[in-house]
Amino acid sequence: MAQGTTARHVAIIMDGNGRWAKRRGLPRAMGHKRGVEAVRTLVRSLKGGAIECVTLYAFSSENWKRPRDEVSDLMNLMRGFIRSDLEEFAANGVRLRIVGDWRALDPDIVEMLEDALERTANGTHTVAVALNYGSQQEIARAARAAAEQGEITVETIERHLFTADLPPVDLLIRTSGEVRLSNFLLWQMAYAEMMFVDTLWPDFTPQHLQDALDEFAKRERRYGGR
């Protein structure tokens, strides 16, 4: 693929909320709250842009290992975000997608998400949120489903991924300076460009995203060719 191409699908590992709070002498919950504000600002910036889909890693299947009060804070923030931002999502043409085993969350959250998915179904650009998500688990689940229906191939596995209706990931961004994938969209990022930035997630702005997109446009993607 030639240089100058626009990323259709951007995936973001939103890392650094806890460190942001610690550096300021604040409780971790404040870092997560500021992280939600960064999500809100980023989503608003997508209107009218060329990106078709942004997938945000919000809560992994491994995050249940965190202290109970932190998990509770994260779930309450999720409830608040859905209540406060759903109308704006719908008005701005955002189609919400959830990837992961989200139906295993608390029943009231599942009900809220079902309503949000229905009310944003006709949106023109997608914000996918990974909740209770683990990529290895997703691949194993998709392979089992493919086997039950017949032959296991790349194509049959892809049909059973949570992201089956989304374009392949073009660009991965991970904030906070960490350089690892953390079990996120491993299959979908087979040929993704990757950028690891030092900025902590609460400080990540639409300009940071634009800078990453500008860098992406300079890269030459060969997909295994010359």
Give the residue-averaged pLDDT of 25-45: 96
What's the whole-number average pLDDT of the chain? 94
* Chain centroid to CA 191: 17
What are the pLDDT digits (tens) for 48-82?
A: 889 999 999 999 999 999 999 999 999 999 999 99
> What are the sequence ranges of the domains in the chain?
9-132+162-218
Which class is 9-132+162-218 in CATH?
Answer: alpha beta
Q: What is the structure's pLDDT at 226? A: 58
Confidence at 179, pLDDT banded by 50, 70, 90: very high
Gyration radius (Cα) of the chain, Å:
17
For the stretch 93-129, pLDDT in tens is 999 999 999 999 999 999 999 999 999 999 999 999 9
Q: How far is CA 198 from CA 19, 20, 157, 185, 191, in A?
A: 12, 12, 34, 21, 23
CA nearest neighbour of 129 among 113, 141, 142: 113
Residue 222 pLDDT grade (very low, low, confident, very high; cuts 50, 70, 90): confident
- pLDDT for 1 equals 39
pLDDT value at residue 5: 76
Using alpha carbons, select from 187, 158, 160 the residue that is nearest to residue 172: 187
pLDDT confidence of residue 225:
65
**Encoded tokens for 127:** 């914000």
Average pLDDT over residues 156-168: 96
Identify the band that residue 2 occupies on the pLDDT scale cut at 50, 70 and 90. Answer: very low
* pLDDT over 50 at 188, yes or no: yes
Read off the pLDDT of each residue in 125-151 and give the average, rounded to a whole number.
96
Has residue 197 got a pLDDT over 70?
yes
Quick check: 168 pLDDT over 90?
A: yes
Percent of the chain scored above 90 by pLDDT? 91
- pLDDT given for residue 4 in this prediction: 53
Task: Please give the pLDDT value at position 219.
Answer: 87
Active site positions, annotated: 15, 63
Tokens representing 107 are 């029943």
